Structure 1
């Protein structure tokens, strides 16, 4: 059989039929331009119209030809994700979950995700800009003074930072609201009348630079504890290279008088129940515990502690959506978006 005429809807059950955007437009009762806008998730299209077009696409078995779309729009329809290659040597369930979520939301926007993990992140950005392999970049594993940021600005590739550096240089920033998380956790320990607690947080990498989210959370917890009159002990940088369970043991040994512990490190969170069992400690009878952890890890690993649940899909979607908007409108004002996360109480912080 040959191709369809512009007035004949496709029947996906008929082998050999090629469904076109014209067929979708005819089935949905809209113009081809409207179908194109729906495919690219253009916000000017109403939800009812978009739903009608997508229903027509499903009925006809229409799939987007990304290669043809890229040629017609002069886009690669590819997003680059630049990660810190040095950190790839460390196991991080959070990073792995982010990669999956970012890839998924990029696909929903019609983009492929290209992982960039060159040992020299700055050169990687220059190379990708010169080759024009991507339409935009997401920079992950942001440090406080990240040397990739000025290179990204210089490259003029639309870029979104998954993290909050000291100076974003006008780039869009997306991250979890760690400041609010710290406020809620210290409020919780205050409500339960705790006077002396400790923080076991994600190793920062370096004391003067450091991974931005770990630094931000530590600083926020210290500030909130001081404001509430709580004595707070922070795990020593000397322990950052220890295994998670050993860092937990070291913290407990260093600060034997604490009544509560906040853990902000997914590896330490996962190892904590076994470590407490080995030490003969009961939570919350012997020690109150609250954690900051991605919701998927807490749920699948059945972490039994009160938690700030980091909704990774929400953060990933915000990062991808912000980048797509930046690609479509390079001159729009830059944005900073912090995604708030819920406090899930699981009775692991007792009242004194």
Structure 2
């Protein structure tokens, strides 16, 4: 079934049917109703590709994800799922494109070959050449994270500095005097990964504010790296009693290293950080954490991007989210001296 058949049955021209479907020109209420009755009778659905061709749009958005070799965290998976769901609700498809390392060609094709109407860009660096490339191409985009100085891009971010500061304050209130920040991989930090830099700022500020000793350590984004990192920390800093982290993927390994050393969370050692809510609740014991609203972020990102696509001249929007720290079961009062740790090892 095509527009010509609808026009014949409704007694109007093909162009009138086209205008009624696209809304590009006014059509009288009675004529629109007559056309709609025929459409309903025939069960007609406009061909999406043909409609997109007429509108000059693909009705597809690009979601630029971390390199394919990296396993996405629970937080990132929740975000991706939310973007796909939110896009579907407004009749948009989502094209996933890895970026970084060997995947730079994939990103370039996404930008240069008119495959998408706009882009959601994950894992923003403080100095991110992808942002400049999207600006130069005139392609609407939204960042999940923000660069050091570009105010011309719309973005959504988490207040990592403030959240890590709150986590350290919570540990200080429990009597912990020496804490560690387990951050992301050394490669990401060297590349200027925004959340890692901002988490450090909050960590340093909280240490100074509460007079604590602190250690910051990079860690790969997987359980094995988390275990190795935590084992090394306990060996080099035996008086360490707590850790805070933005590295969700490393947390199972951190927990395993503590268990292997005979330390029980939270009685002998406390863990807190920034993580997806569902993941924090399922952690054992449930993780005291700033719960990242990944689902909400996905919905907001799609909404912002649709706004940039339909009204590109509107001012960019900046959304900084600061979810509260949910107190669960992975933090407790600091153990009283080395004897408590020995008792913990014997338990």
From 89, 94, 98, the counterpart of 2:69: 89
Q: Secondary structure at the match of 2:187?
A: coil
Residue 42 of structure 1 is matched in structure 2 by none
1:124 Cα offset (Å): 4.4
TM-superposed deviation, 1:339: 2.0
Q: Which residue of 1 aligns with 2:127?
A: 145
- Which residue of structure 2 aligns with residue 112 of structure 1? 93
1:323 — aligned with what? 305
Given that residues 92 and 266 in structure 1 are in contact (C-alpha distance below 8 angstroms), is that contact kept between their aligned partners in structure 2?
Answer: no
Number of the residue aligned with 2:272? 290
Paired with 1:97 and 1:258, the residues of 2 have a C-alpha distance of: 32
Q: Per the alignment, do residues 125 and 184 of structure 1 end up closer, same or farther by CA in structure 2, a change over 3 Å counting?
A: same
Secondary structure at 1:90 match in 2: coil
Higher relative contact order (CA 8 A, sep 6+): 2
Q: Residues 30 and 308 from structure 1, CA distance in 2 versus in 1: closer, same or farther, beyond 3 angstroms?
A: farther
CA contact (8 A) 1:197 1:231 kept: yes
Deviates more, 1:125-134 or 1:143-152: 125-134
**Higher share of residues assigned helix:** 2
Could you list the per-position Cα deviations for residues 47-93 of structure 1 after superposition, in whole angstroms to 9, with x for gaps in the alignment? xxxxxxxxxxxxxx9978643542443211110122343xx322232
| Whole-angstrom CA distance in 1 between matches of 2:263 and 2:282 | 23
Change (3 A) 1:300 1:263: same
TM-score normalised per structure 2: 0.76
| Aligned positions, number | 305
1:332-347 → structure 2 map (5 Å cutoff): 332-347=314-329
Structure-2 change in CA distance of 1:335 and 1:122 (3 Å): farther
Would the alpha carbon gap of residues 250 and 240 (structure 1) be closer, same or farther in structure 2, given more than 3 Å must change?
farther
Structure 1 residue runs without a partner (length 5+) = 7-19, 23-28, 34-60
User: Hey, what's the Cα distance between the residues in 2 that align with 1:175 and 1:63?
Assistant: 38
Query: 2: CA distance between counterparts of 1:99 and 1:30?
Result: 43
Matches within 5 A, 1:273-312: 273-302=255-284, 304-312=286-294
Q: TM-score, length-normalised on structure 1?
A: 0.75
Which structure has the greater CA radius of gyration?
2
User: 1:223 and 1:30 mapped to 2: Cα distance?
Assistant: 67
Contact 1:150 1:169 in 2 (8 A): no
Measured against aligned partners, the alpha-carbon deviations of 1:163-187 in whole angstroms (never above 9, x if no partner) come to: 1221336111112221231232122
Question: How far 1:218 sits from its partner (Å)?
Answer: 2.1
